[in-house]
């Protein structure tokens, strides 16, 4: 309500306001239905026992890539055909944008808000909103395809971090986002262990074919 009040004050003609629906329900099947049938970005929040200290002047929001910002099409290739097929697919389609995932719309809203703040010259030094892509994809074709997809959508992300399969928790501990979205519980729990509020996005092939250990890392590692 507070954010909407500020938006109305600066943009009385705008209809682009935040609308949040909170469902107090832990049933992942209902969240899946919300994403699939109504295109609602939904997630289950995991709050750490001891929260890391976060910025009070800059809102930091971190997103995973596949099955969060992007669709799960690349994960499907890996699950059905294996790692080499995944690499080949990313090389061949490096310039082909991926389809949108459930949280692409949320990033889009954040980017619009950033642009409005810049246009109105409401910023003293830097934008109070900062976005991050924190993905297990590595460099090379997998990383370039992610960036090319964002460019195709006309969306800027403030910082893109390609971890090549490394755990995300330590990096999240460094950037200290206020919230992080990921489709794999492995990364959600790792983030929570580092004091980051993390949300599980129940979308994509990872919900039906759990990936653990090296396989979880292999899908997004950079080609050698």
Phi-psi region of 138 (alpha: psi -120 to 50; beta: other; left: phi over 0): beta
- Angle among Cα 177, 178, 181 to the nearest 5 degrees reads 75
64 is a catalytic site residue: yes
| Tokens read off for 83 | 């790692």
Adjacency order of strands within the sheet including 129-135: 44-46, 198-200, 179-182, 59-63, 129-135, 159-162
Q: How far apart are CA 223 and CA 83, in angstroms?
A: 10
Name the CA radius of gyration of the chain, rounded: 18
Angle at 139 between CA 46 and CA 169, to 5 degrees: 25
Which of 64, 66, 182, 183 is catalytic? The answer is 64
Q: How far apart are CA 59 and CA 49, in angstroms?
A: 21
State the CB neighbour count (10 A cutoff) for residue 175.
17
**84: Cβ–Cβ under 8 A, 6 or more apart, which residues?**
none
Backbone angles phi, psi at 61, to 5 degrees: -125, 125
Q: Which residues are catalytic?
A: 64
């Amino acid at each position: 309500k507070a954010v909407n009040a500020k938006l109305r004050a600066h943009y009385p003609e705008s209809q682009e306001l935040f609308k949040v629906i909170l469902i107090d329900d832990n049933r992942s099947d209902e969240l899946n239905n919300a994403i699939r049938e109504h295109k609602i970005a939904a997630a289950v929040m995991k709050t750490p026992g001891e929260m890391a200290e976060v910025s009070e002047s800059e809102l930091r929001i971190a997103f995973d890539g596949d099955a969060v910002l992007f669709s799960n099409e690349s994960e499907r290739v890996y699950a059905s055909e294996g790692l080499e097929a995944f690499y080949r697919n990313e090389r061949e389609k490096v310039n082909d944008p991926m389809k949108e995932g459930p949280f692409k719309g949320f990033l889009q809203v954040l980017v619009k808000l950033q642009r409005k703040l810049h246009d109105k010259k409401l910023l003293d030094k830097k934008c109070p909103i900062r976005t991050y892509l924190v993905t297990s994809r590595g460099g090379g074709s997998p990383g370039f395809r992610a960036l090319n997809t964002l460019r195709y959508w006309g969306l800027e992300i403030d910082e893109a971090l390609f971890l090549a399969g490394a755990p995300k928790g330590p990096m999240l501990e460094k950037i200290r986002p206020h919230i992080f979205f990921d489709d794999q519980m492995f990364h959600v729990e790792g983030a929570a262990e580092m004091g980051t509020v993390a949300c599980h996005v129940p979308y994509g092939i990872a919900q039906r074919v759990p990936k653990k250990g090296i396989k979880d890392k292999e899908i997004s590692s950079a080609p050698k």
